[in-house]
Structure 1
Amino acid sequence: MDIKQYDFDLPEELIAQVPLQDRSSSRLMVLDRAQETIEHHYFSDISQFIQPGDCLVLNDTRVLPARLYGAKEGTGGKVEVLLLHQSEGDEWEVLVKPAKKVKAGTKITFGNGQLVAECTEIQEHGGRKVRFSYEGIFLEVLESLGEMPLPPYIKEQLPDRERYQTVYAKEEGSAAAPTAGLHFTTELLQSLEEKGVEIAYLTLHVGLGTFRPVSVDQIEEHDMHAEFYQLSEETAEQLNRVKENGGKIISVGTTSTRTLETVIRDYGTFTAASGWTDIFIYPPQKLKAIDGLITNFHLPKSTLIMLVSAFAGRDFILEAYNRAVQERYRFFSFGDAMLIL
């Protein structure tokens, strides 16, 4: 399948650079798959479309302040390090810039020597393995020195780093936020629970591969990045119960969707599981785990728009995206949302 089938024209000024002050005041495009209708609402209206007995599935991953700026020992040359994931102990897989300056054995210092990284292995595409040394607790050191790894298309600074976290973020480990969840406030979630909507949590640590463009002409040749996920026994039981009682499983974001579809693919039912998933979902595949999806508006020719197209149909999704451009919706991480039922 040709990648050009998932391209669309997006004016640069529609790429949201800053989040709205009120999370739930973003716009919400509501898509009905059966009727192929499109309605325009605000995210705070979402309870109109979710019924008692339905279940929202949220990804509770928390974004690490994973971007570090340091200097090479000996030369003082500036180096940027972006944490991808923890390999073992204090060893991490990272991206470095400029990569050619960081060879095996190179040491990089951060702050006033609070943190030191030694390159232990050279990998492809600017990747490195480094071993950190420090005093105290690594996450506390990282909180004091690191910056939020905002996507490359966001040029503005983010004064409040919590605005790039969901209000329910708990499990440290992501290199990017599960952005569909950024629209929820504590009050909105509470009102949904009071209505009788169930809330379930899982964890998928988002990797930077989520922003990686598809660089092949034929979609089937794309190598999907792997991300760590965890679905607890409590959540698995909750989801199976909702299904048995006739409720809808509504996934918040493509990360939650990839986790649920991985588990259904591997076990046939919702089952407690953890591991690495590189599942790649695109038409004509059908999604088996979910009945609804809340998601942001994604990059042209990205794996994310392909996943959404697998759920709602490519033609319908591209029509909705064209409508979003006409109606001046805000796109990408800090942009508006779409509810597909």
Structure 2
Amino acid sequence: MRVDLFDFELPNERIALRPARPRDAACMLLVRGQEGLADKTVLDLPDLLEPGDVLVFNDTRVIPAQLEGRRGEAKIGATLHKRVDLRRWQAFIRNAKRLRVGDVATFGGGVTAIAEERLEDGSFVLFFEGDEPVEVLLDRAGTMPLPPYIAGKRATDERDQKDYQTMFAKEDGAVAAPTAALHFTDRLMAKIAERGIATETLTLHVGAGTFLPVKAEDTENHKMHSEWGRIEQDVADRLNEARARGNRVIAVGTTSLRLLESATGEDKVIRPFAGDTDIFITPGYTFRAIDGLMTNFHLPKSTLFMLVSALMGRERMQEAYAHAIANEYRFYSYGDSSLLLP
């Protein structure tokens, strides 16, 4: 499909630079089949689902993956986006023309890394020197990697250390937050439990590739970034049991959705999973694992807008986004939410 079919005009002022406070006070647009659109808030979520339905969250934790440093006299920046092993990470490099294979980059706190390999996409494999775990080095040298559409408008600050982390975060490894879950609070989780809605978690370490623009003119020519994920056997079993009794599996965020779909066969059975996935979902895809999606509002011509168009229909989502823009919904990572129920 042509990528320009997924374009739309978004006024710059609709991009959220801070989250709603409290988080569960964010607006939420209900898109249910071909019914009329309904303006809700995130706190309404439990009343829009049925007892026995299951919400699936991503428990990945964002690491301080943004590094500023030097190679000799040249300034460079590194955004880690995928772990290779205990001491190696793939990284997008700013001012990459000043970095060659074999060079040593020096970052804050005396952290150093060797540029071991340059990959086809222009990123580098960095080997972090020393005996301390890389996580310790990043805590010393790194900052929270805010998305470019926020970082380009303001500096990262202490508030972002908490704001850009979900309440479920426990597995270190993401360089971008699973932002749909940023809306959840203890108050909302108590209402979900009271309603009899179940919750499960999986892990998908979101990479910086999620922010890369689609440069191809046709979706067939776009190469999707890969990310590492895991679904445990007992989680898969409970999700299959829920669907077998007629309840719905609702993915909280496109990261949860993509991992669930990666782990599910044509027989619609969700299986345990541990490994990389580069699933690219566009209109025409047949969903196997999920019955709905809670997600924020995405960029024009992005793979994520293609995903929601696959779930609900492209024209339906163009209509929903036009409604959101006209009614001053807030977009992107710190923005408002939508509940998509086919």
Which category of TM-score, normalised to the shorter sequence, fits these structures?
A: over 0.9
What is the alpha-carbon distance in structure 1 between the residues aligned to residue 54 and residue 109 of structure 2? 48
Aligned to 1:101: 98
Q: Which SS does the other structure have where 1:162 is aligned?
A: helix
Distance 1:4 1:264 in 2: 30
Measured in 1, the distance between the counterparts of 2:286 and 2:67 equals 40
8 Å contact kept, 2:214–2:222: yes
Give the corresponding residue for 2:149.
153
Tell me the secondary structure at the aligned position of residue 163 of structure 2: helix
- Residues 1:121 and 2:117 are matched in the alignment: yes
Distance 1:318 1:290 in 2: 22
Partner Cα separation in structure 2 for residue 211 and residue 239 of structure 1: 30
Question: Which letter maps to 2:316?
Answer: F
Q: Tell me the secondary structure at the aligned position of residue 24 of structure 2.
A: helix
Q: What does residue 339 of structure 2 align with?
A: 339
**1:201: Cα distance to partner?**
0.5
SS of 2:332's equivalent in the other structure is coil
What amino acid is the match of 1:148? Answer: M
**Structure 1 CA distance for aligned equivalents of residues 76 and 15 of structure 2:** 28
> Any conservation in 2 of the 1:96–1:127 contact (CA below 8 Å)?
yes
Aligned-partner Cα distance in 1 for 2:107–2:52: 50
1:56 paired to 2:55: yes
1:213 matched residue in structure 2:
213
Q: Deviations over 1:273-322 (max 9, x none)?
A: 11111111111222121111100000001110111011111111100000
Question: What is the CA deviation profile of residues 178-233 of structure 1, one whole-angstrom value per residue up to 9, with x for unaligned ones?
Answer: 11111111221132123211001111111111111111111122111111110001
CA distance in 2, matches of 1:90, 1:207: 17
Is the partner of 2:173 in helix, strand or coil? strand
1:179 corresponds to which letter in structure 2? T
Q: For 2:235, give the aligned amino acid.
A: T
- Is residue 70–residue 78 contact of structure 1 (8 Å, CA) maintained in 2? yes
Is it true that 1:179 corresponds to 2:179 in the alignment? yes
Q: 2:287 corresponds to which residue?
A: 287
Other structure's SS at 1:236 match = helix
Number of the residue aligned with 1:91:
88
Structure 1 window deviating more from structure 2 (135-144 vs 302-311): it is 135-144
Corresponding pairs, count: 337
Asked if the contact 2:164–2:182 (Cα under 8 Å) also holds between the matched residues in 1, the reply is: yes
Q: Partner residue of 1:130?
A: 126
Structure 2 Cα separation of the partners of residues 283 and 265 of structure 1: 19
Q: Check if 1:8 corresponds to 2:5.
A: no
Partner Cα separation in structure 2 for residue 121 and residue 285 of structure 1: 35
Deviations 1:88-121 (A, max 9, x none): 23121111121011111211122242x1101111
- The worse-fitting range, judged by mean Cα deviation, of 315-324 and 282-291 is 282-291
SS at match of 1:265: coil
Within 2, Cα distance between the matches of 1:267 and 1:227?
A: 24
Q: How far 1:64 moved relative to its partner? A: 1.0
Name the SS of the counterpart of 2:334 in structure 1: coil
Q: Is the 8 A contact 2:59 2:168 kept in 1?
A: yes
- For the Cα contact (< 8 Å) 2:109–2:141, is it kept in 1? no
How far did residue 135 of structure 1 move? 4.3
Aligned partner letter, 1:130: L
1:20-79 CA-partner distances (Å, limit 9, x unpaired): 23111110001111x43200011111111011100000011111110011222xx33322
Map 1:45-84 to 2 at 5 A.
45-72=44-71, 75-84=72-81
Q: Deviations over 1:141-195 (max 9, x none)?
A: 2112211111111122342212101101111111111111111112211321232
Secondary structure of the structure 2 residue equivalent to 1:117: strand
Contact 1:18–1:158, Cα closer than 8 Å, also in 2: no
Structure 1 residues 309 and 42: alpha-carbon distance in aligned structure 2, compared to 1, 3 A threshold: same
Contact 2:82–2:227 under 8 Å retained in 1: no
Give 1:124 deviation, angstroms: 3.3
Asked whether the 8 Å contact 2:80–2:208 carries over to 1, the reply is no
Distance in 1 of aligned mates of 2:132 and 2:303: 39
Aligned partners of 1:144 and 1:176: how far apart in 2?
19
**Is contact 1:36–1:316 with CA below 8 Å preserved after alignment?**
no
- Whether 1:143 and 2:139 are equivalent positions in the alignment is yes
Corresponding position of 2:29: 29
Separation of aligned partners in 1, 2:176 and 2:192: 26
For the residues of structure 2 that align with 1:214 and 1:97, how far apart are their CA atoms? 19
Mapped contact 1:68–1:80 kept (Cα < 8 A): yes
- Cα distance between partner residues in 1 of 2:24 and 2:135: 30
% same residue? 42
Query: Aligned-residue CA RMSD in angstroms?
Result: 1.4
The normalised TM-score by structure 1 is 0.95
Query: Structure 1 204/112 Cα, relative in aligned 2: closer, same or farther at 3 Å?
Result: closer
Q: CA deviation at 1:235?
A: 0.7
Aligned twin of 1:250:
250
In the alignment, what sits opposite 2:228?
228
Query: Match for 1:23: what amino acid?
Result: R
